[in-house]
Chains A and B, each alone.
Chain A
Amino acid sequence: MKSGNNNISESAGPTNAWYRCAVATALVGGIFSAIVCVFMLLNHGKSMIVDTEQEMRLLNLRADSRTQPENEQLLAQIRELDLQIRRQRFRSLDRSRMGGYLLLGGVVIALISLKVMSELKRELPAPRGGADKAEEQIRKAALARWAVTAGMVLLGLGSVFLALRPKIDFPAAGAAGTSLMSAEDANKAWPSFRGPGGSGISTHVNVPADWDGGTGKGILWKSKVPLPGHNSPVVWGDRVFLSGGDPNGLQVYCFDAASGALLWTGDVTRVAMKEDEEPFEPMEDTGFCASTVATDGRHVCAIFATGDVGCFDFNGRKIWEKSLGMPDSSYGYASSLAMYRNLLLIQYDQGGIEDGLSALIALDGFSGQVAWQTKRPVGNSWSSPIVAAIGEQVQVITCADPWVIAYEPAKGTELWRAECLAGDIAPSPIYSNGLVFAIEPYSKMVAIRADGRGDVTKTNVAWTMEDGGPDICSPLSNGELVFLLATEGLLSCHKVSDGTKLWEHDFLEYFQASPSLVGDKVYLLNEKGVMFIVQAGPQYKELAKCALGEECRASPAFADGRIFIRGVQNLYCIGNGG
């Protein structure tokens, strides 16, 4: 204890040989420990670096192995490199362990020496005066009280600082539901096939109605899409997404909405074919990626005709991918994706009705895990599911032969079903004014009230219009009128209330893109890339006709002041300022 006295040590002090020996030993122990410590820190620092050249090489080799799973040489290289990295890692651990022992030894030696030094140099006790004076005691007690108070104040200030930090209101968050894709955000964007709710209705009315691809009038930009596909563009904020594919690759693209620059390309791994499996050759009209991608504002997910699904974040980082297996589809899989909150909804209809292969699958957008899967008593279809807010409830509505079925989107529970369709169902349903409109190609349109439960075939079918129906294009409604567009170019207008046909007009052109509604105008894009803009009213009236100059099969996407159209080779952005 340092007592401030000048008493001599019990021993001879620093001049003692033992003392000098202890000092020297302590120094050696200390320096040795310091050196070991430095080496251990270096070793630790080195082990913290993970992106070494070797590890990057291994990652690249692993990426290559996905595309060349049969390449034995590549696999051997991966194994060898992996072994080397592991050996290095374990060597580092061994060094660290050995360093720990050496450091402990050094510290123990230094400590013993220091102890010996302090023992050899110990001062004899030297009393300082008498008992504490009363004033001294009172002063010390006062100081101690202040110290305790200061401690309390410190704790109080710490508590205030911590209590004022932002916190999450769980009850409010729970009541609001998951806010990943708010209705407001989704309505502003064009998050999936045919926009919000799959209705084909643009929430923006300031979109252009006059452009010319030949002169470049109204064309803001035009960008080449690397791989072909018939899927439609999807827009969220300043990004435009679509997919492309051929026998050599399946890709997701992200374009900058402002400049048209291709921001990133995401590759989706195509699961290797089995040896005895015939090569997949999709129909030309369907191709590898007729399905439109879907986004929730954070993830963008794509499905391809091979059953491979990929999900990326907005920076192009692949979040997950999985294969649902090659779908058994007569013309090739073409149903587009839909999203509800964090769930990716896939209408995976395949085979015949009796095969029991069809299902509605919900994958978690974050992990790709199956959140739920509901079997569907239908055959293969090419229609896309829609997510519609009906009263207080959100429903996923699907069409296939022979059922129109609505599901509860969070759990996949069936809400209602109506047996009213037959054949190859490609048009997607729409919801408008309390009714779900479903199309049986070449045959009929059925309007079903969406507030039923169970089998509503006999109770909730409001009316059936049996004057034909489009085979590919989905219907469109403004709440009072329903517009149907046949592939051969016949546009017809019907009353929502009873299905009565008000008028029809034959464009004598071929259409594959579904019609869209912007304000009181209907946009109709034919295969030659000509957009017909007609009045959405009880009489036919053509308002404009704009040629793009490139063949188009995909439905357009609408954003604030812009239209995004995918041609067979290029993606176009049409704007008022072009």
Chain B
Amino acid sequence: MRRSTCAITGIAVLLILCGLVRGVERFPPPDFESGHEMPSPTTPHPGQDIYEYIDVAMLLAALTLSSYLVLRKRSRRAIFALMVFSLLYFGFWREGCVCPIGATQNIVLSIFDAEYVVPITIAAFFLLPLVFTLFFARGFCAAVCPLGAIQDLVLCRPVVVPRWVESGLRVFAYVYLGAAVLFAATGSAFVICRYDPFISIFRLTGDLNILVLGGCLLLIGVFIGRPYCRFLCPYGVILRQFSRLSRRRVAITPDECIRCKLCEDACPFGAIQKPAAPWSDQDYGIAKKRLGFFLLVLPVLVLSGGWAGSSLKAVAARAHETVRLAERIYLEETGEVTDTTDASAAFRATGKEIEALYADASNIRAQFGLGGWFFGGFVGLVVGLKLIGLSVWRQRQDYEADRAGCLACGRCFEYCPREHVRLEKAKEVRT
């Protein structure tokens, strides 16, 4: 009884104190003699974090719905509607942040920096699309990603990008992913976020250069389907690999391919693979030799890529603020520049030793040297594997959606006569 009385009294005292604290202004107002009226203080509303959990819930719901619409409903219109909703919610309403593409960097940083704890909502944003892709193909790209959605919306006059051009351009997405991982791992920069081309559009404000970049990509996107997704998106690179392993995948036809060829030009993203004719024995022999050559070259490419990557350490390390500051201080110290920046003036005000700053910068550069080996080796590996992949003949009897490259947009469904039959049957069943 006594204990509960004490507890109640304590809580009451705490509540009263809280009330008093709310009533006291955080800083005493200055004494104005000019008749100036102090504006009433405003307190930011607590609980803004709830949006983050709502975002995760929305992402989960959108991914579930997208998977259902792509794999079961097979409705382009419904996918389109969900895509527009995602653009409005994740893009314009939530201003493009947090997004799974950028979350990659948080995850990488949390791996390399023990002091950085990745928020659970960001981890969820990174993992949920991967998990869904592993089971239900790239429903995230189809109708959930706002970056994909805005490009999909502007696609009005699609032109075919030759497959060989696409093969060459796709390498850059791997390079971008490698660079993003390198910069995030060294704690230098989140380049994916910094150079997100559509963020300025979602926020209706931002850096002019980024706005121009986004505008250019959208202009290109009028003719070339989703250029960012196909040739640059680093998260798309990961999704491609998960999609290869996907338990269920997008099929052009709901049951069997009758090889009517009506769908062969249906995909604006070049993700429909045609049936492949068998090669002659002579061609097959040449291809085998070529394959052997590329297998031998693969370690050379990895090592030379690693060497090239590490030789970029001085340039790449400039992404780190400490290195930039050290370089600036060096220029000031040697008289190559005549003024100071806010950063250099602030550093000097700390009284820290310049030699210590140089040592820090040197260490960071060494990290980039090591990271450069991995980055360059990764790029070399990608190039080598691509060359190997392009030297292998794959048997294909039907028109198929590319397991890795299909964005599950559902455009091809209505091109398939079997789909029309299915829809008619479904209508009959309903009636």
Contact = CB atoms under 8 A, between A and B. Distances in A.
A403 B331 CA distance: 39
Contacts of A141: 390-391
Nearest to A159: B308
Contacts of A159: 308-309, 311-312, 376
Contact of A171 (B157, B172, B327, B358): B358
Contacts of B201: 104
Interface string B132-155: 000000000000000000000110
Given A132-B275, A177-B355, A366 B171 contact: no
B320 to A, nearest CB: 12
B131 interface: no
A111 B157 CA distance: 12
A138 B393 CA distance: 9
Interface string A365-386: 0110101100000000000000
A151 B334 contact: no
Interface string A100-121: 1100100000010011011000
A519 B413 CA distance: 97
A1 B348 contact: no
B204 A100 contact: yes
Contact of A104 (B172, B204, B332): B204
A147 B351 contact: no
Nearest to A369: B349
B7 interface: no
A73 to B, nearest CB: 15
A180 B334 CA distance: 5
A274 interface: no
B415 interface: yes
Given A140-B164, A147-B168, A159-B312, A313 B362 contact: no
A298 interface: yes
Interface in A76-99: 96-97
A134 B335 contact: no
B154 to A, nearest CB: 6
Interface size class of A (residues with CB under 8 A): 35 or more
20 contacts: A97-B205, A117-B156, A118-B157, A127-B261, A130-B261, A134-B279, A134-B283, A138-B279, A140-B164, A151-B169, A151-B172, A155-B379, A162-B315, A163-B312, A163-B314, A170-B359, A170-B365, A171-B362, A173-B333, A372-B351
A433 interface: no
A374 to B, nearest CB: 13
B324 to A, nearest CB: 11
Nearest to A147: B168
Contacts of A2: 157-160
A101 to B, nearest CB: 7
B168 A174 contact: no
A148 B279 CA distance: 22
A366 B340 contact: yes
A54 interface: no
A162 B308 CA distance: 10
Given A178-B333, A315-B338, A366-B348, A148 B327 contact: no
B295 interface: no
B355 A1 contact: no
Contact of B276 (A111, A115, A131, A371): A131
Interface string A285-302: 000000000000110000
A111 B259 CA distance: 35
Given A168-B330, A180-B333, 12 more contacts: A114-B222, A125-B264, A128-B264, A134-B279, A134-B280, A147-B167, A149-B383, A159-B312, A171-B362, A178-B333, A298-B335, A315-B338
B333 A145 contact: no
B407 interface: no
A371 B352 CA distance: 9
Contact of A173 (B275, B330, B376): B330
B315 A167 contact: yes
B277 A131 contact: yes
A165 interface: yes
Contacts of B283: 134, 138
Given A150-B168, A159-B308, A367-B345, A145 B351 contact: no
Given A132-B276, A134-B277, A313 B338 contact: yes
Contact of B415 (A114, A125, A371): A125
Contacts of A259: none
Interface size class of B (residues with CB under 8 A): 35 or more
Contacts of A117: 156
Contacts of B387: 145, 148-149
Contacts of A71: none
B187 interface: no
A8 interface: no
B263 interface: yes
A174 B355 contact: yes
A173 B358 contact: yes
Interface string A136-156: 011011011111111110011
A145 B392 CA distance: 12
Interface of A: 1-3, 44, 96-97, 100-101, 104, 111, 114-115, 117-118, 125-128, 130-134, 137-138, 140-141, 143-152, 155-156, 159-160, 162-163, 165, 167-168, 170-171, 173-174, 177-180, 297-298, 313-315, 317, 319, 342, 364, 366-367, 369, 371-372, 410
Nearest to B326: A170
B119 interface: no
A144 B167 contact: yes
Nearest to B392: A141
Interface in B366-389: 376, 379, 383, 386-387
A167 B351 contact: no
Nearest to A123: B265
B64 interface: no
A432 to B, nearest CB: 30
Interchain residue pairs A-B with the least CB separation, the first 9: A147-B168, A127-B261, A143-B164, A167-B314, A144-B167, A174-B358, A100-B204, A144-B164, A369-B349
A132 B330 contact: no
A372 to B, nearest CB: 7
B208 interface: yes
Given A131-B277, A162-B315, A313-B339, A148 B156 contact: no
Given A118-B156, A134-B277, A127 B260 contact: yes
B175 interface: yes
A144 B383 contact: no
A192 to B, nearest CB: 18
Contacts of A150: 168
B277 A132 contact: yes
Contact of B348 (A111, A156, A342): A342
Contacts of A146: 164
B101 interface: no
Contacts of B165: 147
Interface in B234-270: 259-268
A553 B24 CA distance: 63
Given A179-B334, A314-B338, A163 B355 contact: no
Nearest to B355: A174
Interface in B198-247: 201, 204-205, 208, 222
B204 A125 contact: no
Contacts of A137: 276-277, 279, 393
A546 B431 CA distance: 123
B409 interface: no
Nearest to B158: A1
B393 to A, nearest CB: 8
Contacts of A162: 312, 315
A2 B279 CA distance: 30
Nearest to A136: B277
B348 A364 contact: yes
B354 interface: yes
A285 B349 CA distance: 36
B171 A148 contact: yes
Interface-centre pick from B164, B169, B393 (highest chain A CB count, 10 A): B164
Interface-centre pick from A128, A147, A156 (highest chain B CB count, 10 A): A147
